[in-house]
Amino acid sequence: MESESGATGILKNGRLLRRAQYVFRRDISAWVLMLPSLLIFVFFIWAPLISGIHLSFFQTKGFDLVRFIGLQNYIDVISESSFKSAVANTFKYVLWSLLLGFPLPILVGVMLNEVRRLKGLFRFAIYFPAIVPGIAAAILWKLMYHPTAGLLNTLRGVMGMDPSLFIQSKDLVIPCIIIMMTWKGFGSTAILYLASLQGVNQELYEASMIDGAGILRKFWNITLPQISGMFSLMFVMQVIGVFQVMYEPLSMTDGGPNNASMSLMLTSYFYGFRFYQAGRAAAVGVVTFVILLSLTFVYFRLQRSNDT
């Protein structure tokens, strides 16, 4: 009996091995194509993520591990008032970006889709800000926001208006930074929406025109449902991208005035490269990751419940 069961197990293992070899050989071209991306994903995303989580549990001297301290870095970071203001500011960045920056690419994509002449020129003009390096764009807008010599305040003076503090104002600094980020990034997103719009069945628009539907009705009942997949993807990508805002406030305001533009990732940067407290920097990064993971999970659960 034992010999029979052993032989049966060997046969099953042999079948599984042959099945695995067959699947691998059948999909070998796909594995070869995915291998570079998998290696990049493992070494440049998962490895640093795991290393950062490991680092967050240690007291550090510079970037050298000194001793294991458990959750102490998290306790120290969360107990500081600057961290609480950074969390609040980060959510403000996201909310302002959804108000100012999220609808604009959709509207621009729709307008580009309706253009009949000079399509290439308009696409280039809209996409051009995405070509400008991020730091250069931030410095350019910082000069435009200058309280005395900036272009915007110069125009306000020509129109007889008093100068504005812009990024030197606690109330205006985050919306001003979001305007710069929107100018920098809306072109590439609009091109993606345009590609999605060009896949919409034109017969739907023709039928709606016969029924007497106006522009707003066609946009609401046809355009938005047809690009809902791209809409959801861009929503998640924008929340994740803006939640990690760092170099824009760093180069434009250095987190000021009075920490009014400080974000979570900028706080992590300051801990790591100004105060040389790598453990706390990693702890802030882990907290940011957990918040983003939770927001993404909640969003997809709500979307799934709405679909059902």
Q: How far apart are CA 196 and CA 183, in angstroms?
A: 21
Q: What pLDDT is stored for residue 252 in this prediction? A: 94
Residues 113 and 107: beta-carbon distance below 8 Å: no
Q: How far apart are CA 115 and CA 125, in angstroms?
A: 14
Q: How far apart are CA 61 and CA 77, in angstroms?
A: 17
Label residue 2 by pLDDT band (50, 70, 90): very low
Q: How far is CA 94 from the centre of its chain?
A: 10
Q: How far apart are CA 275 and CA 266, in angstroms?
A: 12
In this prediction the pTM is 0.85
Distances in Å between the Cα of 138 and the Cα atoms of 89, 103, 231, 250, 267 are 18, 22, 27, 9, 19
pLDDT, tens digit (0-9, with 9 covering 90-100), for 241-300? 999 999 999 999 999 899 999 999 999 999 999 999 999 999 999 999 999 989 888 888
Label residue 1 by pLDDT band (50, 70, 90): very low
pLDDT, tens digit (0-9, with 9 covering 90-100), for 119-172? 788 888 888 999 999 999 999 999 999 988 899 999 999 998 888 999 999 999
Mean pLDDT of 87-99: 95
Phi and psi dihedrals of 246, rounded to 5? -145, -60
Q: Helical H runs in the chain?
A: 2-26, 28-41, 47-55, 72-78, 81-96, 103-114, 119-131, 134-144, 151-158, 173-197, 202-210, 215-218, 224-226, 228-243, 247-252, 264-273, 278-307
Residues 248 and 134: beta-carbon distance below 8 Å: yes
* Residues 6+ away with beta carbon under 8 Å from 229: 196
Q: What whole-number percentage of the chain has pLDDT above 70? A: 93
Q: What pLDDT is stored for residue 308 in this prediction? A: 61
Q: How far apart are CA 241 and CA 209, in angstroms?
A: 38
Q: What pLDDT is stored for residue 307 in this prediction? A: 63
More confident residue, 230 or 182: 182
Cα angle value 36/190/139 (rounded, 5°): 85
pLDDT, tens digit (0-9, with 9 covering 90-100), for 5-33? 545 555 556 677 777 677 677 777 777 88
Render 60-129 in DSSP notation, one character per residue.
EEBTEEEEE-TTHHHHHHHTSHHHHHHHHHHHHHHHHIIIIISHHHHHHHHHHHH--SSHHHHHHHHHHH
Question: Is the backbone peptide bond immediately before 257 cis, with ω within 30 degrees of 0?
Answer: yes
Q: How far apart are CA 252 and CA 245, in angstroms?
A: 12
Residues 104 and 129: beta-carbon distance below 8 Å: no
Side chain identity, residue 144? M
